[in-house]
Amino acid sequence: MTDFKLIADDEWRQRLSPEEYHVLRQAGTEPPGTGEYENTTTEGIYTCRACGHEIFRSTEKFSSHCGWPSFYSPAGNDNVIERVDNSLGMRRVEVLCANCESHLGHVFEGEGYQTPTDLRYCINSISMKLEEKSVDK
């Protein structure tokens, strides 16, 4: 089994496209409204594009109209890492894959969405792959 946290930067560059590398390994952001999963309602499991680790499920996805796919909860408490991000002159909480520590997006709270958690995991489509399958709530 690969320990993705030990993969060197050169290998990540070979495994990922330049756009994927920019978002996943350099904490970039895809332009709003351009991601393939922003408006997807297909049932399934979202996995990290870098390592295949399960990160989100379609059952927790909701339409926030923010320009990126939104979820109110990750697939499990240990599936993502959240850490404070003070870049760009603001305080945000970055969301990373718990398996390979690739950048997925950010999580915001208190925005008033009618979800069970009042959280919005704002995730780059390019950081995920959707495995279409039936998902239990």
Cβ atoms 94, 84 nearer than 8 A: yes
Q: What pLDDT does residue 86 have?
A: 85
Kindly give the confidence (pLDDT) of every residue in the chain, 137 residues in length, as a single tens digit, with 9 standing for 90 and above. Answer: 678 888 899 999 999 999 999 999 999 999 999 999 999 999 999 999 999 999 999 999 999 999 999 999 999 889 999 999 888 788 889 999 999 999 999 999 999 999 999 999 999 999 999 999 988 76
Calpha distance 137→131 (Å, rounded): 16
Angstrom distances, CA of residue 71 to CA of 11, 66, 133:
30, 12, 18
Quote the pTM value: 0.93
H or E element: which one contains 23?
Answer: helix 18-26
Q: Percent of the chain scored above 70 by pLDDT?
A: 99
pLDDT tens track for 68-89: 999 999 998 899 999 998 887 8
Q: Which residues are catalytic?
A: 122
Calpha distance 56→52 (Å, rounded): 11
All domains in the chain, ordered by first residue:
4-132 (2.170.150.20)
Cβ atoms 47, 64 nearer than 8 A: no
What average pLDDT is seen over the chain?
A: 94
Q: What pLDDT does residue 2 have?
A: 78
